[in-house]
Amino acid sequence: MGCKNCCSICLQCLFGYETNVMLVINNKGVGALFRLIQFMIIAYVRAYQDTDSVISSVSTKVKGNILTNTSIEGVHVWDVPEYVIPPQGEKSFFVLTNVIPTPGQTQSKCPEIPSEVTKCESDSDCIEGHTEVHGNGVQTGHCVQYSDTIKTCEVHAWCPLENDTIIPKPALLGAAEHFTVLIKNNIQYPKFNFRKRNLLHHINSTYLKNCTFDRKTDPHCPIFRLGHMVTEAGEDFSVMALKGGIIGILIDWNCDLEFPERFCIPKYSFSRLDNKNPENNVAPGYNFRFAKYYKNNKSIETRTLIKAFGIRFDVIVFGMAGKFNIVPTIVNLGAALACLSLVTAICDWVMLTCMKDRDQYAKRKFIHLNQNGDSVQGLA
């Protein structure tokens, strides 16, 4: 008998034919699960487009003038060549907002700025040829009078030395918030042979002379007021101008090329990029030094050292474009069909393991028929 049963089972396995049984289950929970999984799969593999990343070039042109009157330099007009440093940056530009000038420096000897390592009592406290990492020159080996009460080591340096402990307040060039910048941005998606620039078709010379970017009234104007960009980044220009900082100009070129070219337009946003954490405010802002060299009336090389504070604007362009392509469509369609076939298996498992009527479901789901087409048994 055991051998006959074994042979019967083997014959059933070899010559049995399986086909799906369609059952309509009126169960809201399982039905909702079935549709939810279907929706998630379709949403996940719905992509039918080929995509490409944006390639971009940027050029900028700042305009504006400022008149200042200080005790050190007197009346001074600042124009673009003087406050935009360097004249052309790589997708960025720097605008000077505050300065600490040290005019009339020449190569000579002078007492070092007082600090814990430069103060001295006698020449024995100073080492000839020694340089401090945070110092201003090379020590001569002499201890000299810095003031009536303080002595410091003498140094070979550009004298008089810079004293940057007091930062001008308000910022010397705080009016730079009224400056404007023209941003010209050319982009392309090579895969789709698509090119465009942020000077849209309706923009002409007359329009450029009169427009300034405004998110509500002029969202496509490529001329931006510096103060407006800083405000949109959530900052106060007068405060930021004191010690400088970095502002990101973000240009979003995400485009669906299924639609006409006119719908592919840039979207602008602004954000502060440098650290502004009040709990870790070491070396805040943005600054550097440069010098203007000339010969004095005695033909001695002289310079004006400038510690420059300002705002660097980084233009960051990003975007993706999509367009219909038959290859990703077929691939994603195949993936969707394969995944959808799993939905029934998942719901069957739920019915067989979690539902109260799972035994009745199993009897109707798995039916064995004999050669005459009669039902033999239901298997769970």
> Measuring CA to CA, which residue among 256, 250, 248 is closest to residue 189?
256
Q: Is 63 annotated among the ligand-binding residues?
A: yes
Q: Is 181 annotated among the ligand-binding residues?
A: no
> Measuring CA to CA, which residue among 19, 29, 88 is closest to residue 315?
88
> Measuring CA to CA, which residue among 77, 75, 93 is closest to residue 85?
93
Q: Is 298 annotated among the ligand-binding residues?
A: no
Buried b (16+ CB within 10 A) or exposed e, 118-146: bebeeeebbeeeeeeeebbbebbebbbeb
Q: Could you tell me if 143 and 155 are in contact, meaning their C-beta atoms sit under 8 angstroms apart? A: no
3-class DSSP assignment, residue 130: coil
Q: Is 62 annotated among the ligand-binding residues?
A: yes
Q: Is 196 annotated among the ligand-binding residues?
A: no
Distances (CA, A) of 106 to 103, 140, 156, 305: 9, 17, 10, 10
Q: Is 191 annotated among the ligand-binding residues?
A: no
Q: Is 60 annotated among the ligand-binding residues?
A: no
Backbone torsions φ then ψ of 11, nearest 5 degrees = -65, -40
Q: Is 289 annotated among the ligand-binding residues?
A: yes
Q: Residues annotated in the binding site for ATP, as ranges? A: 61-63, 180, 287-289, 307
Q: Residues annotated in the binding site, as ranges? A: 61-63, 180, 287-289, 307
